Structure 1
Amino acid sequence: MKLELKTENDKHTKWLSNFFRVSFTFALIIIFCDTVLKLGVISRHYQIEYNCSLLSVETSQSNFRELSKLSKLKSKQKIWEFCREFIE
């Protein structure tokens, strides 16, 4: 006669596996979102620096508009003062 006992180790192993899978997925999502946000900040900084360099060479209305969008400044005087930090 053969006696078999069913244990619930299988349920615990499956639950633990799912827990680690979900935790790993959330960690990857958080790391990815953080990287995207940091790349956005870096990209914005280089766009501002590039447009300030363009503005120092050629003072066109389109350069002022682009810098106004990026820096949220409205007056040309404030944009010039803002760009002096990047040009120096």
Structure 2
Amino acid sequence: MKFEVKTEKDNYSNSFLGFLRIIFKLALIIIFCDIAVKFGNISRYYQIEYNCKLLSIEKSKPIFKEISRISNLKSKQSIWEFCREVVK
């Protein structure tokens, strides 16, 4: 007859590894979300800069609408002032 004694050491190490896996996955999710937000900000900046350069060349209504949508500016005067600052 064989007699075995189970210890709690295996249970603690497995639960600790599970906890570390969860923490690692959460850290990766947070890092990837932060990168996605930063890429969105960079993309928005370059889109505004591109549209402001287009506006200085071609003064059309769709470009005003696009800049207004991106920058939340409503009047043409404020869009002009904003684009002067961006293009400098």
Q: TM-score, normalised by structure 1?
A: 0.95
* 1:26-37 correspondence runs (5 A): 26-37=26-37
Indicate the SS of the match to 2:49: helix
Across the two proteins, how many residue pairs are aligned to each other? 88
- 5+ unaligned residues in a row in structure 1: which ranges? none
Deviation per CA, 1:17-60: give whole Å up to 9, x if none.
10000000000000000000000000000000000000000000
- 5+ unaligned residues in a row in structure 2: which ranges? none
Q: Which residue of 1 aligns with 2:71?
A: 71
Confirm whether residue 40 of structure 1 aligns to residue 6 of structure 2.
no
Q: TM-score, normalised by structure 2?
A: 0.95
Partner Cα distance (2:44, 2:2) in 1: 72
Superposition RMSD in Å? 1.1
1:4 deviates by 3.1
Runs of 4+ aligned residues of structure 1 deviating over 4 Å after TM superposition are: none
Partner Cα distance (1:51, 1:64) in 2: 9
Partner Cα distance (1:2, 1:71) in 2: 76
Q: Which residue of 2 aligns with 1:82?
A: 82
